[in-house]
Chain A
Amino acid sequence: MSITHNGFSAQRRLVLKGAGTVALIGLGAGLGVIAFDPRQAFAAANDKYPEEAFKQKNEADAIKALYGKTAEPSDKVKMDAPEIAENGAVVPISVTTTLEDVTSISFLVSENPNALVASYKIPAGTVPSVANRIKMAKTSNVIVVVEAGGKLYSATKEVKVTVGGCGG
């Protein structure tokens, strides 16, 4: 809760009560947040939809926009992904980790037009494990980032995406 997603320190002050709410609305509109709930202002500063992070082209920029830090590879982050996706439109990827105090898990695909695909908030009491289905434009590295105890850890796997055939 102490770390903001986009490292925008002004936001940290705005989380505090007061007239900041009006300014926050302006900030929210600027960032493209659709459904603004004032309660969110008093909750963790990282409750906003990370619009900027989703707009980044490459994974390094997306991770920076999302977390404001860089990740180090860790074998404690276990990713399950296919060798060859049956179809780039629906690629099942899941991740699980033995790391503790996990607060966030994100999925990125380096060769996608926008690298960040999904980011999940893991409140205390939620198991740090997620399964989802993502789109991959072509053969690419899939990167999973886990935020645990304030630090970032990652795992990477190449998933091949083929095009063409006749259908099974």
Chain B
Amino acid sequence: MASTIRVRATSNGDTTEVQALIQHPMDSGFVKDAKGDIIPAHFIQELTFEYDGKAVFVADWGGGVSKDPYVKFAFKGGKKGDDLKVSWVDNKGATDTTTAKIQ
């Protein structure tokens, strides 16, 4: 099955800019469905970006982050062709991970 994580990492030689879009409902647990029942909370809690074995960015998220969440950041270093590992874990314990090549 295809990963839920889409990553675009581009290096300008000095800094690597990273954008990620993840397919996830990010249900806050505050919204009711058509029948009036609460849709249970279901959201990514931790999203980690690793380069060269070290975390370069860690996102701690709550249900207030938009559905199909997006984040953008940049870190010094990173070369074209290098790997960037992205993984998440949600409040139900589900996980996903992917490795992208820096462009």
Direct contact of A and B (CB under 8 A): yes
| Chain A residues proximal to chain B, CB less than 8 Å | 34-35, 47, 49-50, 54, 89-91, 94, 109, 112-114, 116-123, 125-127, 129-135
What are 7 pairs between A and B in contact, CB < 8 Å?
A89-B66, A112-B64, A114-B64, A118-B64, A123-B57, A123-B58, A135-B64
Interface pair A34/B76, CB less than 8 Å apart: no
Interface pair A120/B59, CB less than 8 Å apart: yes
Choose among B60, B74, B93 the residue that contacts A50 (Cβ–Cβ < 8 A).
Answer: B60
Interface pair A135/B71, CB less than 8 Å apart: no
Interface pair B64/A127, CB less than 8 Å apart: no
Interface pair B93/A34, CB less than 8 Å apart: yes
Q: How large is the interface on B (under 10, 10 to 19, 20 to 34, 35 or more residues)?
A: 20 to 34
Nearest CB in chain A: distance from B32 CB, A: 13
- Give the distance in Å from the alpha carbon of A127 to the alpha carbon of B73 in the complex: 7
Interface pair B75/A125, CB less than 8 Å apart: yes
Q: With an 8 A cutoff between CB atoms, is B95 at the interface?
A: yes
Q: A residues within 8 A CB of B15?
A: 127
Q: Which residue of A lies closest to B48 (CB)?
A: A121
- Give the distance in Å from the alpha carbon of A103 to the alpha carbon of B19 in the complex: 20
Q: B residues within 8 A CB of A127?
A: 15, 73-76
Contact flag A129-B74 (CB < 8 Å), given A34-B45, A122-B57:
yes
Interface pair B60/A118, CB less than 8 Å apart: yes
Q: Which residue of B lies closest to A32 (CB)?
A: B91
Interface pair B58/A125, CB less than 8 Å apart: no
Interface pair A89/B61, CB less than 8 Å apart: no
Q: B residues within 8 A CB of A112?
A: 64
